[in-house]
Amino acid sequence: MHLTRFLSALTLGACVAALPAAADQGVSLATGYTDFTTWSLFGSATAQNATPGNGFTYSNLILTQAGTGGQGGAGFAPQALSLDFNQAFSFDFHFFIPASTGLRGDGLTFTLASATGVGNAGSGLGYEGLSPASVAFAVDTFNFDGEPVSPSVQILAAGSATPLAVTLTGLGDAIRDPNYQWLAAVHYQPSGLGDNAGTLTGTITHPDLGTFSVSAAVSFADLGLVGTPVYYGFTAANGAATDGHFITSAVAVPEPGAWALILAGLGCLAVLTRRRARA
């Protein structure tokens, strides 16, 4: 698709997505563009924006730096959400773990919590020790003897690294893949009983490696998240390993002709708005 047409479709889609819908909850970080440099960062986390000249601008949330161990990092969106736990919600995002050798670990989480921060490093995934009013979807890439074999996807809750549910992926070191980003999604389906409880499902998908999901029953009332602002974000840790953990976002950079089209369109919208105001 020509970049101008792509931008026109993208702009229209963004405008439609911005319209309020009472039944819609959650945030899509896998579509549109998220500037992670505006997020609250903790521990080893950093955020960088880059336009390398390939037609896109990228924003990377780097939770742990590749090549350095003993790190724990977290990044949370600057504004909290008001979630109704008797209604469904969804979040999605892209992540990748750069190719590496040696010990694999420890993993990352997508977290909903009443307070921001970073928890314990190593097998705590930067989540363990956070507020007990929290729940997380984890991609765990390290295991001790007697623990679920990594990599696995897990549901965590109450600031504990002991999973409520686990699915083994059998991926081994294939979880480290910088060439194709993983698409992850978190979906909540309420019980329908008006009890602020339901099923939380986390999924990761790779075009060559498959789809892996995990689900657990969660009571947001028991977790203390009902009626409080809810922050969303990510945590990660690598302990004795040296894996990096990246959350990514991208947006197309308009060609000069596309900028003229967009500016002309914005001018038309301004004229129409003024005419409607006079009427």
What is the tens place of the pLDDT at every residue in 37-52? 999 999 999 999 999 8
pLDDT band at 254 (very low <50, low <70, confident <90, very high): low
Is the pLDDT score of 198 beyond 50?
Answer: yes
Residue keyed to tokens 């990599």: 151
Nearest C-alpha neighbor of 116 from the set 127, 105, 125: 127
User: What is the token pair recorded at 16?
Assistant: 């439609």
pLDDT at residue 1 above 90? no
Q: Comparing 19-23, 47-51, 68-72, 251-255, which segment has the lowest mean pLDDT?
A: 19-23
pLDDT for res 7: 33
pLDDT value at position 100?
A: 86
pLDDT for the residue 159: 97
- List pLDDT tens digits, range 170-195: 999 999 986 778 999 999 999 999 99
Q: What is the predicted pLDDT for the residue at 23?
A: 42
**What's the confidence (pLDDT) of residue 55?**
87
Pick the CATH number of 27-251 from 3.40.50.300, 2.60.120.200, 2.30.29.30, 3.40.50.170: 2.60.120.200
Distance from C-alpha of 26 to C-alpha of 54, rounded to nearest angstrom: 31
Q: Which amino acid belongs to residue 9?
A: A
What does the pLDDT read at residue 78? 95
**For 68-112, what is each residue's pLDDT tens digit?**
999 999 999 999 999 999 999 999 999 999 988 889 999 999 999
Q: How confident is the model at residue 5 (pLDDT cuts 50, 70, 90)?
A: very low
pTM of the shown model: 0.83
Has residue 20 got a pLDDT over 50?
no
Residues 118-140: tens digit of each pLDDT: 999 999 999 999 999 999 999 99
Q: What is the pLDDT of residue 265?
A: 46
Averaged pLDDT of the chain: 86
What pLDDT score was predicted for residue 6? Answer: 31
Tell me whether strands 89-96 and 26-28 are parallel, antiparallel or unpaired.
parallel
Selection from 142, 138, 140, 208 nearest residue 179 by Cα:
208
Whole-angstrom distance, CA of residue 65 vs CA of residue 244: 5
Predicted pLDDT at 255: 54
The domain spans of the chain are 27-251
pLDDT at 259: 39
In the chain, pLDDT over 70 holds for what percent of residues?
A: 82
Confirm if 199 and 215 have CB atoms less than 8 A apart. yes
Long-range contacts of 49-57 (CB under 8 A, 24+ apart): 51/253, 55/3, 55/252, 55/253, 56/250, 56/251, 56/252, 56/253, 57/33, 57/250, 57/251, 57/253
